[in-house]
Amino acid sequence: MMYRSGFISIIGRPNAGKSTLLNVIVNQKVAITSNKPQTTRNNISGILTREDAQFIFIDTPGIHKPKHELGKTLNKNAYTAIAEADVNFWMVDATQNFGPGDEFILEKIKTSHIPCFLILNKIDLLGKEKLIKVLQEWKERYAFAEIFPISALKKDNIDQLLEVTKGYLNEGPQYFPDDMISDHGEQFQIAEIIREKVLYKTEEEVPHSVAVVIEKKEETDTKIFIQALIVVERTSQKSILIGKQAEMIRKIRLAAQKELKEKFQKRVELELYVRVEKNWRNRSSKLQQLGYLELEEDE
């Protein structure tokens, strides 16, 4: 039996459902989700291992018009994934009109010369006639290798998508162990869970300006102690995050603690601190320190 393996990048505009699809495919939460753009900031790998194949999925940051250095870095990460994948999944919210952001991604795909699947997500929100119309419009834009209407949330058409994708992967090795579902370590996952709770709980002006750093993690057989720092750009954002009588930070802490307890099956004690780092999204040294920018070697 031929064993197939390969890398599939999931690309698209912010909020198309990329992270939801990844979590559904690997049947575990490896990428955080929210209805706010730029939720995903790192190229996150989700790994699905089967008897005859290993799929390595790269969940990329949503491609958008950048307003700061962080945005440029996120886009660069997504472009790298497009260029280096064996197959690209371009995920589109089928309920949204084709716009300049889509045109931009389409041009990137045309120059990549890598098989591209158009994944039309959120079809559960469309009637049959509307779906047929949307499909026809997309077929006329580009000769995609495959077009798949799906609902990531309702898990519609996912098994068929994987079966067809397997046919596009080459014969190759098993890159990761059977039980590994992500290439990101525990500290990254903990920080992302805390950041997700900030996204869910806070006002519109806070989310993009938030980064989370795990400062300390101590573990026994029955308990985990975690100390985490939440970085924001402005004093006003710190006030929102802490809230009146520290009510907001308490809600974030309890929500994160609850999910971490379920994840590790242990009692979790979480301590959160908030610090202002002015304009951190435009400072390369800070982006590097917070894990969004890799160290570039001197030429």
The binding site for GTP comprises 12-19, 59-63, 121-124
Task: Give the up-direction half-sphere exposure of residue 23: CA atoms within 13 A in the CB hemisphere.
Answer: 16
Tell me the C-alpha to C-alpha distance, in Å, between residue 235 and each of 198, 231, 232, 272, 277. 16, 11, 8, 16, 9
Q: Which residues pair with 92 in a beta bridge?
A: 120
Give the gyration radius of the chain's Cα atoms. 20
Tell me the C-alpha to C-alpha distance, in Å, between residue 262 and each of 29, 34, 220, 270. 12, 19, 16, 14
Cα–Cα distance between 265 and 121 in angstroms, integer? 33
Q: Are strands 87-93 and 267-276 parallel, antiparallel or unpaired?
A: unpaired
Cβ count near 247 (within 10 Å): 9
Token pair 């162990």 in the structure block, residue: 177
Helix or strand run (H / E) with residue 8: strand 4-11
Provide the Cα torsion 26, 28, 30, 34; round to 10°.
110
Token pair for 153: 């949330």
Cα–Cα distance between 68 and 194 in angstroms, integer? 23
Annotated binding site: 12-19, 59-63, 121-124
